[in-house]
Structure 1
Amino acid sequence: MTAVIDDAVAEYEHKKFWEEMRAAVERTRREDPEGWADHLAETAAFDRAAPDGLEPEDWSSYLPPKEDDADNPR
């Protein structure tokens, strides 16, 4: 029984973490577009510097749709 409760709590904490993360990312995109642009530029610089030869990954599906893009959910 304890394992079931532990699993449920862990799942809840995991979901809560990602909900808060998505909200923070969206808040930054909305309230600090310059800071968001800086973040994207820095991320792109690291992606280009990776010597693994892999194409950059698309993480956009983890972000909520932009307000003007509500008809095109990710």
Structure 2
Amino acid sequence: MATISALPTPAAAPAPIPFRQVLPWAAFGIVLAVVLLYFVGAEQGITSVISGETVHEFVHDGRHLLGFPCH
């Protein structure tokens, strides 16, 4: 009778990602987060980039959800 041994094979370690490849994506994510935070939190009044109430009404519920007062 043949015996089959079930020895675990070592798993290959994942290759590290170089910092130079992560940096552009991290910078893009930070810029995107700041732009979204501006439009949700401060796009009204004197700092308004887009005139009118369109952006304010579009992000109104998100403002309240994140704790920004708006009226």
Normalising by structure 2, we get a TM-score of 0.40
Give 1 or 2 for the bigger CA radius of gyration. Answer: 2
Normalising by structure 1, we get a TM-score of 0.39
**Structure holding more helix per residue:** 1
Greater RCO (CA < 8 Å, at least 6 residues apart): 1
